[in-house]
Amino acid sequence: MGNAATTRKNGGTGGGTGGAIGDGARGNADDAANADRGFVAALTPGVVKDATGRVVWNSDAFAYLIDAKQCPDTVNPKLWRQAGLCARQGLYEVTEGVYQVRGLDLSNMTLVEGERGVVVVDPLVSEEVAAAALKLYREHRGQRAVTAVVYTHPHVDHFGGVLGVIGAQDEVPVVAPEHFMEHAVSENVYAGTAMIRRGMYFSGFATPVDPTGQVNMGLGMSTSTGTVGLVPPTLIVTKTGQQEVLDGVRFVFQMTPGTEAPAEMNFHLPERRALCMAENACHTLHNLLTLRGAQVRDARAWSRYLNEAIELFLDGSDVVFASHHWPTWGRAEIRTFLTQQRDMYGYLHDQTLRMMNSGLTGIEIAEQIELPPVLERAAHVGGYYGSVSHGVKAIYQRYMGWFDGNPAHLWQHPPQAQGERYIKAFGGPDKLLAAAKSWADAGDPRFAAELASHLVFGQPDNTEARELLAEVLTGLGQGAENSTWRNFYLQGAQELLNPIAPTAISLAASLASALSVTQIFDSIGIRINGPKAWNEHASILWRLTDLGETYRTELSNGALIHYPNPKDTNTDLTLTLTKAQLLGLLAGQGLDGVTAEGDASVLNRLTALLDDPDPAFPIVTP
């Protein structure tokens, strides 16, 4: 069906536009030089395995992006350029005393040398790659102890590998922004299963690592699939201007809540004249609502915090770096970089609201919005990870919600019921299939995909419909400038023709020990099957001896209500145990070592009402 010919704001330019690397790409000619600047050494081979020998990271698989001289027809040239810049791997010097390991996971691990050792910032997704990154650093900078850890924000690629650089009981400061734990849990545990399942689409997990499949994720190549952990913070940053001396190095923090994460912070190293922008200013337009799912971000606040960073730190900075991509050196270059990042988020916010207040919906605004020429040409705000299209829709959603105001859209049928009705309305499946093919042949793969999807949902076993939809999605994906659009399209095509691949990791299980007791009970409540529990009533008093805390849980009208320090301690069952025993009990280890008073059958009644989440639920099929 050919690649999709769409505009940049809607994901990229397609149409088989292969050519020399950089053909048609916006860009700063210095990007390649900056991506290579400060190179010390690469991990060779670029493969990391877990204790069982399973490969959890393979940067060598993406070497084709650096070696190739020609962009293939199956990749958008602008995304190809971005991917080649991200594919660099190894240890890099940012400035004296500040190093980064890049290309060993989706994110960068930054190492700030102190008086006694090294401060690790954002220790990647999993402990195996974090340990390999630290080993690479030590091979070239000496056996420095890790003297502190800094989490810039609560996304898993910025904390999940912490146990690869420190032990769970090590007495070193672990620094994070206020409300870090709250949001680490809400994204990775409460909604963790759904987000990880969507994350498989986000990363193109089951597609081949080659020019027909995975080429990039916009921020980096892909995510590692090793062991995820979390050491809770011991030092909380609560305000802009807060200074902390970590291993003799002065960190000046800037709080940026509601930007790339609900809890996030930048920091400045005055003596090193270096500014870390966390994930608030990378070499891409970022997501205002990530396609894997998250809370909608605040474009207006994001723009304002970028302006505040310019005001606070520009005069004292010779280099700006982030938790993804490569640094920018030179005060004039930093000003341009941060100013254009600031202006992009501000422009998208204000123009979306202007057009919204003229009566346009999010979908309509996304089709009509135009960018200023300077921003259209600026490579570092290109739509490789976020896009203007889904960014505009996110801003609309933040203010107006999911409903566009048209009453015809207020109570639509769900996808399978719609599919059945589309088949009937078109006069049968053959006619709906023919219509989808005709729109594809006419150069409108977007509508062809919509019609074919209705047919797939109405007749899930229709092989021709699946094949057509997979072909159309492949064309849309291979034409996309935006990496996550590409990955979603290609992963969808993969799952239309093949079984759903097992999900790589389970964050909910790996983070359980870091949860507070309240968060543990929250996670149980989310799993209660409401209709099955309608007529059940049960109450349990939980005495946590190691924490000196008492909680009461009550199952009432299908909801598990829980609260600490209850006045009413008259319950069906009282359990006296430690937090570790609570986690063990929930994992099915029984009541060994737990003191139980009252009706022990209450616990079995409660656990019988819990649904197990499905990490492989279908997305492109019913």
Show the 3-state SS of 366-412: HHHCCCCHHHHHCHHHCCCCCCHHHHHHHHHHHHHCCCCCCHHHCCC
**In terms of domains, do 450 and 549 share one?**
no
Give the contacts of 53 (CB within 8 A, at least 6 positions apart).
none
**In terms of domains, do 287 and 394 share one?**
yes
Q: What pLDDT is recorded for position 12?
A: 52
Looking at the DSSP bridge assignments, the partners of residue 109 are: 101
Would you place residue 10 in the very low, low, confident or very high pLDDT band (cuts 50, 70, 90)? Answer: low
Instruction: Please give the mean pLDDT across all residues of the chain.
Output: 92
**In terms of domains, do 373 and 462 share one?**
no
Q: What pLDDT is recorded for position 4?
A: 38
**In terms of domains, do 279 and 347 share one?**
yes
Give the CA-trace dihedral at 294, 295, 298, 299, to 10 degrees.
30
Q: What pLDDT is recorded for position 472?
A: 98
Cα–Cα distance for residue pair 175/149, rounded to 1 Å = 6
Domain boundary among 468, 497, 526: 497
Q: What pLDDT is recorded for position 118?
A: 98
Residue pLDDT, tens place only, 298-321: 999 999 999 999 999 999 999 999
Would you place residue 174 in the very low, low, confident or very high pLDDT band (cuts 50, 70, 90)? Answer: very high
Cα–Cα distance for residue pair 453/619, rounded to 1 Å = 11
- Exposure string (b/e) for 117-130, b if CB count within 10 Å is 16 or more? bbbbbbbbbbbbbb
Q: Which of 105, 106, 107, 111 lies closest to 38 in space, CA to CA?
A: 111
Q: What pLDDT is recorded for position 17?
A: 34
Q: What pLDDT is recorded for position 13?
A: 39
Would you place residue 22 in the very low, low, confident or very high pLDDT band (cuts 50, 70, 90)? Answer: very low
**In terms of domains, do 314 and 236 share one?**
yes
Mean pLDDT, residues 526-544 taken together: 96
Mean pLDDT, residues 21-46 taken together: 78
Q: What pLDDT is recorded for position 505?
A: 64
Q: Is the pLDDT of residue 423 over 80?
A: yes
**In terms of domains, do 233 and 318 share one?**
yes
Q: Is the pLDDT of residue 15 over 80?
A: no
- Which three-class secondary structure state does DSSP give residue 483? helix
Cα–Cα distance for residue pair 79/21, rounded to 1 Å = 10
Mean pLDDT, residues 492-520 taken together: 83
Looking up tokens 């346009």, which residue turns up?
360
Residue pLDDT, tens place only, 385-410: 999 999 999 999 999 999 999 999 99
Q: Is the pLDDT of residue 18 over 50?
A: no
Strand extents, DSSP E, 103-208: 109-113, 117-121, 145-150, 174-177
- Of 190-204, 415-429, 534-548, 551-565, which gets the smallest average pLDDT? 190-204
Cα–Cα distance for residue pair 44/63, rounded to 1 Å = 12
Q: Which of 327, 340, 320 lies closest to 33 in space, CA to CA?
A: 327
**pTM, two decimal places:** 0.93
Question: When comparing pLDDT for 476 and 24, which is higher?
Answer: 476
**In terms of domains, do 18 and 73 share one?**
yes
Mean pLDDT, residues 564-572 taken together: 94
Q: What pLDDT is recorded for position 2?
A: 39
Cβ(486)–Cβ(79) below 8 Å: yes
**In terms of domains, do 321 and 468 share one?**
no
Instruction: Determine how many CB atoms are found less than 10 A away from the CB of residue 68.
Output: 14
Residue 1 lies in a domain: no
Q: Which of 224, 252, 18, 66 lies closest to 133 in space, CA to CA?
A: 224
- Of 94-108, 118-132, 179-193, which gets the smallest average pLDDT? 179-193
Domain total in the chain = 3
Domain boundary among 467, 497, 527: 497
Residue 80 lies in a domain: yes
Q: What pLDDT is recorded for position 295?
A: 87
Q: What share of the chain is helix, strand, coil (3-state, %, to 5)?
A: 40, 15, 40
Q: Rounded to whole angstroms, what are the CA distances from 241 to 244, 253, 526?
A: 10, 6, 38
Q: Which of 343, 334, 350 lies closest to 375 in space, CA to CA?
A: 343
Q: What pLDDT is recorded for position 579?
A: 93
**In terms of domains, do 255 and 134 share one?**
yes
Residue 511 lies in a domain: no
Q: What pLDDT is recorded for position 16?
A: 35
The 8-class DSSP code of residue 599 comes to -
Q: Is the pLDDT of residue 28 over 60?
A: no
Cα–Cα distance for residue pair 189/193, rounded to 1 Å = 7
With pLDDT > 70 as the criterion, what percentage of the chain qualifies? Answer: 94
Residue 510 lies in a domain: no
**In terms of domains, do 380 and 487 share one?**
no
Q: What pLDDT is recorded for position 515?
A: 84
Residue pLDDT, tens place only, 253-282: 999 999 999 999 999 999 999 999 999 999
Residue 539 lies in a domain: yes
Would you place residue 428 in the very low, low, confident or very high pLDDT band (cuts 50, 70, 90)? Answer: very high
Q: Is the pLDDT of residue 183 over 80?
A: yes
Q: Rounded to whole angstroms, what are the CA distances from 589 to 552, 582, 583?
A: 21, 10, 9
Mean pLDDT, residues 112-125 taken together: 98
Would you place residue 547 in the very low, low, confident or very high pLDDT band (cuts 50, 70, 90)? Answer: very high
**In terms of domains, do 371 and 424 share one?**
no
- Domain residue limits at 545: 516-607
Strand extents, DSSP E, 413-544: 538-544
Q: What pLDDT is recorded for position 501?
A: 87
**In terms of domains, do 469 and 433 share one?**
yes
Looking up tokens 């650096």, which residue turns up?
66
Q: What pLDDT is recorded for position 495?
A: 97
What CATH code is carried by the domain that includes residue 218? 3.60.15.30
What CATH code is carried by the domain that includes residue 534? 3.30.1050.10
The 8-class DSSP code of residue 173 comes to -
Residue 490 lies in a domain: yes
Residue 618 lies in a domain: no
What CATH code is carried by the domain that includes residue 487? 1.25.40.880
Q: What pLDDT is recorded for position 544?
A: 97
Residue 90 lies in a domain: yes
With pLDDT > 90 as the criterion, what percentage of the chain qualifies? Answer: 85
Domain boundary among 497, 531, 564: 497
The encoded tokens of residue 508 equal 């909910």
